[in-house]
Structure 1
């Protein structure tokens, strides 16, 4: 890796985490990597928007998925804002669990569970196990070898799980009964994500080149662009999965777009209000029952008087 050898120290002291290509404390004394920190707000925004647009009529699993994107964004701000290893884990660990949540939502997308309780239990144990390895190796963060071990353990786990998730999305999109709108959504998300991932690698492995561009061009902040593209790609993946799941559950979903940029899943009103209708029906039955009892109570004294 072509690490950033920036010797500048700011408010948070000497960096102990992976140091990306952006110049440290270049904009303000209080934020280690200004653009990487600022761009992390995209993840929080994507998660909040997803929660708002997919709340009524959707299962809890999707709220959890969007919340996990928000947590990744918060961890990313803490990490890039300080460049402290302890806070780097607040970025990496949520990323790993976020992709595990997506994997669960993809695999268990039928009306009946395929694998029961053991599958989510396995995913949780896997996540906890990798987390333990990352924390254990990261205790020696001043040792460059141990730091590399922690970095590649996380990257390896994250990439392998992401590939599995990607394969599952391909199976969904390119099945014989595939929906053209879903294919469009998948192609857009894949293209944006791939663009950002290439930039991530350039920023990581060719930092010296990026910081010495011809014509005195500034650093293009490729890692910050990665945050933007990863946020968008993750959001689209959550939308795709929620659309497929609600379609399987016969909720008649439709894909809608805001300015042809932000997709979301819309459910018919009768689906989103189904629970409210059930409560209303139950309340009406109770009211009718009470009215009948009152009428009966009124008739009983009359019968007694006649006798």
Structure 2
């Protein structure tokens, strides 16, 4: 979903959303590295990008006006927070053979990610309410939430009934959880992007590829303006 988002939104959108899509892509590759090797140290390759992904979204839902509300120190503070958490996780991960260190790393990561994610989701829900007349936004939020919950249910079944699942034809629910999380994260990013584009009067619309893959399309007028700006810069 990250690669799809990067391709479909390569022009006309803030760089913050490019970071979102690229981070989703990094999380995907990091997850492949960790689950393909089951080396505990490689878990950071998807865990740490997850922290920075929600931090970028947290910045986006709070700084969605034309003018900055919190100034330059807000993104700097968020980056330093992400860097600090990442450093702590890497340090604790270096002592993964110690059960206490391993549990401490787990709860620090889960706690940080969960709290920021809840804040982002609440802000996004408020965006959906404010954009209730916009076609496709509510459907995007509903679909993303349902897919996330189904994936989360699958993860719990796989986690708590691991031995029983291995005795049957394993449906790989954990892998489906990653797909569900990726899709729902992408959906949240689109809603925030749509709100930002509307705030900048770019007349965005939600479009779908094969009724499965959503993306934000700007109006033809906005795209012409972007093209004219590019031509002016080149001249």
Please state which band the TM-score falls in when normalised by the shorter chain: over 0.9
Matches within 5 A, 1:252-271: 252-271=203-222
- Larger deviation: 224-233 or 203-212? 203-212
The residue number in structure 1 matching 2:35 is 80
Which of the numbers 55, 71, 89 marks the counterpart of 2:10?
Answer: 55
SS at match of 1:211: helix
Deviations 1:234-272 (CA, angstroms, capped at 9, x unpaired): 111111111111011100111111111111111123322
Matches within 5 A, 1:268-279: 268-278=219-229
Evaluate the alpha carbon distance shift between residue 243 and residue 82 of structure 1 in structure 2; reply closer, same or farther with a 3 A threshold.
same
Q: Does 1:166 align with 2:121?
A: yes
Deviations 1:144-171 (CA, angstroms, capped at 9, x unpaired): 2221221121111111111111111111
Q: Of Structure 1 and Structure 2, which has the larger fraction of its residues in helix?
A: 2
Which of the numbers 105, 117, 130 marks the counterpart of 1:175?
Answer: 130
The residue number in structure 2 matching 1:68 is 23
The residue number in structure 2 matching 1:205 is 160
Alpha-carbon contact 2:154-2:174 (below 8 Å) kept? yes
The residue number in structure 2 matching 1:246 is 197
For structure 1, which runs of at least 5 residues remain unmatched after alignment? 1-45, 287-307
Q: Distance in 2 between matches of 1:282 and 1:219?
A: 56
Deviations 1:91-110 (CA, angstroms, capped at 9, x unpaired): 11011111111111111111
Normalising to structure 1: TM-score of the pair? Answer: 0.72
Alpha-carbon contact 2:127-2:192 (below 8 Å) kept? no
Q: What's the offset of the Cα at 1:220?
A: 2.0
Aligned residues, how many? 235
SS at match of 2:130: coil
For structure 2, which runs of at least 5 residues remain unmatched after alignment? none
Question: After TM superposition, which residue ranges in structure 1, 4 or more long, deviate above 6 angstroms?
Answer: none
SS at match of 1:273: helix
Q: Distance in 2 between matches of 1:128 and 1:135?
A: 10
Evaluate the alpha carbon distance shift between residue 282 and residue 201 of structure 1 in structure 2; reply closer, same or farther with a 3 A threshold.
closer
Deviations 1:166-191 (CA, angstroms, capped at 9, x unpaired): 11111111237553521111001000
Q: What's the offset of the Cα at 1:208?
A: 2.6
Alpha-carbon contact 2:132-2:138 (below 8 Å) kept? no
